Amino acid sequence: MDFSEESLETIAANAPITALRRLNPKLDDQMPKPYLARALVAVDPASKYGSRDHQHNNMTVLQQHVSFFDRNKDGIIYPWETYQGFRAIGFGVFISILAAFLINVNLSYVTSSGWIPSPLFPIYIANIHKAKHGSDSEVYDTEGRFDPAKFDSIFSKYALTYTDKLTYSELQSMLKGNRNMNDLFGWLAAHGEWSFLYKLAKNKEGFIEKEALRGMYDGSLFEYFEKQNASRKAR
């Protein structure tokens, strides 16, 4: 099927924002079917088979992201496991306690299969897709799959200094650009999540690199930092 150049245009002259936040028109030449959301692996042109040495265990990419914090691998994440996971990747006691409280309190009931909330605030990994909030990057679809085109658009739209890195100000621009109207919870959740990520993953120059961000989505970044942290403690 043939398409005219106009039908493939991603910039509209009367909408300057489309020129400011560009899309990558060559993505389909760089990897197969970038429009197809992947259930098991987080892929991009540089990592077409997902993260090396990372096991998907037949879980969606979103499930893999959170399963790092399931320390005993029973499919349920309790607040003390969230705390242990944050400590394992290098966060301090206060931040880890705060994260455990906020994450489990907000995600427990929505991932439950019943009507009665648990006082232990468990998060059920099987239902983690129900916890997806608004004003996010939409890299996870509503079933927890990884959308390569949405991931690429983070960088094509907002990485203005380098094509494969985000500065702190570019990260803030992305958060503002993703906001949905009247979605205070989504704004706060997105800001908290990306603040934790920036503190964890920024390099010495203050950038978040594309590969680090991709690893965040499938949880392999957490595995990396857990090994790094354990190695430092063993010295």
Report the amino acid identity of residue 189: A
* Average pLDDT over the chain, rounded to an integer: 95
pLDDT band at 234 (very low <50, low <70, confident <90, very high): confident
- Residues ≥6 apart with Cβ < 8 Å to 84: 69, 71
Q: Which residue has the higher pLDDT, 230 or 168?
A: 168
> Alpha helix (H) ranges present in the chain?
16-20, 27-30, 61-67, 79-88, 93-111, 148-158, 168-177, 184-201, 210-218, 220-234
Most confident listed range (5-9, 79-83, 114-118):
79-83
Structure tokens at 106: 């907000």
Summarize pLDDT for 16-41 with one digit per residue, the tens: 999 999 999 999 999 999 999 999 99
Residue 3: predicted pLDDT: 61
- Residues ≥6 apart with Cβ < 8 Å to 8: 25
Summarize pLDDT for 164-191 with one digit per residue, the tens: 999 999 999 999 999 999 999 999 999 9
C-alpha separations of 144 from 32, 110, 200 in Å = 20, 15, 23
Summarize pLDDT for 119-165 with one digit per residue, the tens: 999 999 999 999 999 999 999 999 999 999 999 999 999 999 999 99
Summarize pLDDT for 37-92 with one digit per residue, the tens: 999 999 999 999 999 999 999 999 999 999 999 999 999 999 999 999 999 999 99
Report the amino acid identity of residue 234: A
